Each structure stands twice: as structure tokens, then as C-alpha cells.
Structure 1
Amino acid sequence: MAAPESHAGQDRTVRRALLDAALEVFAERGYTDAGLTEIAARSGVPAGTLFQHYGGKRGLYLALWEEFREEQERRTAATLTTERDRGVVDPIALFVAGARAYLGGAWDNRRLARLIAEDDGPAGFDALRRQWDRAWVRRNARLLEVDERHRAGRVRVSVLTTVIGGAARELGDCEDETEALEIVDEVCGILVHLSTPPG
């Protein structure tokens, strides 16, 4: 009988193979046209095991999104911790550093970022994405020390967050890392300009 750690390791390997294959197929065909048979075949995992782990195509898609979201949050939080440890306290500088980290993650995981930005996802995904976007705006408002009770502040943070999201989508179409870095630098300059409160 296999040790529990060995079984858990095999489980992780199977899940990783399924997610990697799902990302390939979703990226090539889109969510709607992706087939579970093809995902199972590419992963080398039986279709029944796919259902056992993820319940189907929707579960695979949501697991990929969750993985991307968590990695982006980890990356951004680590950057903010590093900046604060270096003595950075300016809210705009911290916000831009976090945005740079987020955009770097969007470039590093561009196939997944591009997939998530498309309108071709499972039923109900748009509502989940909007919910996460609202939470992202709230986190950015706290980081920028904006009073969310004032509409102008809320709108400013919403616009800034939208700029970052739009730039992340653009990174998915970049030809190479040089072009991606130029976009990140340009967007961070725009964010500095837009982050400065009027007056």
C-alpha cells in the first residue's frame, strides 16, 4: 500500500498534468470549443480521473483561474513586502511597484492571462471575475490610502485598476520580452501620473 505522501504526490502530478493540458487546449481552441477527450489525451490521464478531480471543463477552467489569481496575489504581496522592508512608504510608489509585479506575472503567464481576459469562459465566470475585480479595486484603494466613501476617489482607483487590467491583456500579444518591458514601463509611468490626487 502506497504511503499517504506518495499518494498525495501522485495526486499533485495528475492535477498538474490535467491543468497543463487544459491550458494548452483552451489556449488553442477557446473554452467553448475545447474538448474533454482532447484534454484527457494530452494529459495522459483517463477522462474519468479528470472528472474525479475537476468535475469537467468548468472545474478545470476555474482551477486555472484560481491558480493565476493566487500567484498574482502572492507575487504582488511579496513585492510590497520587499519595498516596505526597503523603507518605501509612499502609497503611489508602493502601488506602482505592485502594478509592475502584477504585469510581470501577466507576462510570465501570458497564455493563461490572455485566456482569462477573453469573453469565452464558463457560465457564471463573468460574475466571479467582476467580484474579484471589485476586491482588487478595494485593495488598491487601501494601498493608495484613498477614502472609498468619496466617489471621486473610488472612480480614480477603478480607472487605475482598469489600466492595469488592460495592460495585462496587451502583454498577451507582445512579440518578445523587450516589447513587454516597454509596455510595463509605459503603463507604470501612466499610473504615476494618474495616481497623483488632483490639487
Structure 2
Amino acid sequence: MTESIAAANAATDKPARQWGRTQQTRRVILDAARDVFIEEGYADANIAHIVERSGLSVGSVYHHFNGKADLFLALWDEFETVYTEAATTAVADARHSGVSDPIELFIAGTRAYLEVARGASRLTLLFRGGDGPPGYDTLGRRVGAEWMKNNTTLLGLEDTPVSRLKVRILISTVVEGERAIASVESPSEIDTLIDEAISIVRSIASL
């Protein structure tokens, strides 16, 4: 009986172990691709360099990803997800603490977004630099449209040309703040840039 239970447990654990190894392998590949893309840019990056950096075989890399574009877009998706989750969580926390003013909620999300940018300068330069696979700019526009929709709702604005202009300017200010943060290394300079971006956002949002 004991042996049967042990065998059953081993069989149950096997898929979990395989999934864990698969995720670990994907992470190694993605980390290698990230480093190569940062060093060489998308256009000049070579899949052979990614394979070499990962320490895995060509077959293993292609088993998990279809190629250079697939790797780049997987990293970009992670990049965008971190920002989105940080801003969304900050807005939810602000609401939970009693904040109801739409502008203050937007600012809470903005500050969280810019704090993420503090530690993502190299990826910001990579993904905001315009160098990517075919169709990458279309994905960027799609994300931008989603930001427009969500922030128009967050700010309690009607969908009018003037409101769209205002939200577009606000989003552009946040993105330019992100780029500015990526261009400096001093923590004090980053603090200043975040505070200045928040001040500009508050001024525009209050118009």
C-alpha cells in the first residue's frame, strides 16, 4: 500500500517538476536574450549570440521560442505587464486608503509607473527606442490606445476630442518622464525627475 501511494505521488509530482524545469529554461533564455538585445539592439542581435549566452542548445531555444522576434516580444510583454500591474495596484491601494479624487488616483498610478522606470532604464531604452520586429509599432499603438481608454475612465472624463487630447498629453508626459529617468543614473536626479513629472502631470490634469 505504501509503495502504491509513493508511486502515485511521484506520478502526480512529475508534471509539476517538468513545468518547473520548462519555466526555468524559458527564464534562462529570456534573460540571455534581454542581455543581448540591450547590448546589440534588436536589429543587430544574433540568435546565435543568444544561444551562446544562454548556455543551452539551439534546439532548446527554438523549442521554447520561434526566433528573435518571439523572444523580443515576450520580453516586451513582461516589460509592459510590470508597469501595468504597478500602476493598477497603486491606484487600487489609493482607493482602498480613501482617495477618491480622479486626479490623485491618476497621480498615484503615475508615481508607481515612474518608480518602476527607476530600475528599468536599460529596458526602457531598448523598448522605447523604436528598434523592434515588424509589427512592433502596431503593438505599441494598441497598448497606447488601451492606456487612453483606461485613463480617460480613471479621470472621469467623457470621450470627447478635448478629453482625448488632454489624456494623450498626460500619457506623453509620463512616457517622457520614463525616458528622462532612463537617461540618468543618480538616485537624487531620478527623485527630482519623478517629482517634476508629477508636478507637470498635476498641472495638466487640473486644467
**Fold match by TM threshold 0.5:** yes
Which residue of the partner structure matches residue 59 of structure 1? 70
CA RMSD of aligned residues (A): 1.2
Q: Is structure 2 residue 111 aligned with structure 1 residue 100? A: yes
Q: Is structure 2 residue 206 aligned with structure 1 residue 196? A: yes
What are the equivalent positions in structure 2 for 1:33-182 lying under 5 Å apart?
33-148=44-159, 150-182=160-192
Amino acid at match of 1:123: P
Mapped to 2, the partners of 1:104 and 1:22 lie a distance apart of: 24
Q: Give the C-alpha shift of residue 25 in structure 1.
A: 0.7
Instruction: Tell me the percent identity.
Output: 35
Which residue of the partner structure matches residue 184 of structure 1? 194
Mapped to 2, the partners of 1:64 and 1:106 lie a distance apart of: 15
Larger Rg: 2
TM-score by length of structure 1 reads: 0.95
Mapped to 2, the partners of 1:49 and 1:172 lie a distance apart of: 33
What SS does structure 1 have at the residue aligned with 2:98?
coil
Mapped to 2, the partners of 1:52 and 1:104 lie a distance apart of: 35
TM-score by length of structure 2 reads: 0.91
The answer for unaligned runs of 5 or more in structure 2 is 1-10
Q: Give the C-alpha shift of residue 177 in structure 1.
A: 2.0
Divergent runs of 4+, >2 A: none
Mapped to 2, the partners of 1:66 and 1:3 lie a distance apart of: 29
